[in-house]
Amino acid sequence: SWGSELWDGYSSVLSHVTRGCDELSSIFAKFIKEKEDMEKEYAKNIRKLVSKYTHKMEGKETTQAKGFRLLLQEMGYQAGQHKILAEMFTKELQEDIQEKTKELSEATKTNHKGAKKLSDVLDTVYKDLDKTRNKYQRSFLDWEDAKEEYIKATEEGILSRKEIAKLKSLSDSRNAQCEDYKGAYASQLMKTNKAQAEYYYNSLPGVLNCLENIEKDRINYLKHVLGQCVVAEKRAAHIIDK
């Protein structure tokens, strides 16, 4: 599935699916419209030609005239088949393609919004991890400075006991704060690992599989539409060949 095979390429997959949806309207709907116009115009011109030369053969009973009238009659049948073929490529089919395009596009946009929301949630978790790590790092450095000051004062013996006691109290206080931030960082790290696993093993594969279903729906729909066109062409050709 796309969820397991394309987990690192969501943007590319989204572009592919979006492009496929757009082509339903920009290519295939236009093709159907142009095909309808062409078949209508062809049928119209053939009938016009048949009518023109049928009038010229009126009243003539020669073998040549009879043979020509049979040809004109056959051409009239052919014009009818092209008109029927044109009706297959009607505005109704074109509108159906446009409606399907809209449906698939909306599903794709909804998928994109959902994927962005999931990504934003993970980004927020990452930012929270950065904040707690930075607080822990700053707190650790502050404790190191306070501890060094206390050790230095103790070793030098210049400061009074009261001042040394204050330095010790500051060192202990910063150590306690550092431990709190360390705990908060460890907790956030676990939360981040859990969120990351959920995103890459469940959430992201889910939205990718959804895109795959949208793509399958589009392909099956297009196969159905083009299949209808082929069937209509074959029917018309079969009747014309007769």
The predicted pLDDT at position 220 comes to: 95
- Which residue, among 231, 239, 229, has the nearest Cα to 93 in the 3D structure? 229
The predicted pLDDT at position 58 comes to: 81
Q: Give me the tens of pLDDT residue by residue for the chain, a chain 242 residues long.
A: 888 888 788 999 999 999 999 998 888 888 888 888 888 888 889 889 988 998 888 878 788 888 988 888 888 888 888 887 777 777 778 888 889 999 999 999 999 999 999 999 999 999 999 999 999 999 999 999 999 999 999 888 888 889 999 999 999 999 999 999 999 999 999 999 999 999 999 999 999 999 999 999 999 999 998 888 887 777 776 665 65
Interatomic CA distance for residues 57 and 69, integer angstroms: 7
Interatomic CA distance for residues 19 and 140, integer angstroms: 52
Task: Give the tokens for residue 2.
Answer: 């796309």
The total number of residues shown for the chain amounts to: 242
CB 216 within 8 A of CB 2: no
User: Which element (helix H / strand E) includes 213?
Assistant: helix 204-241
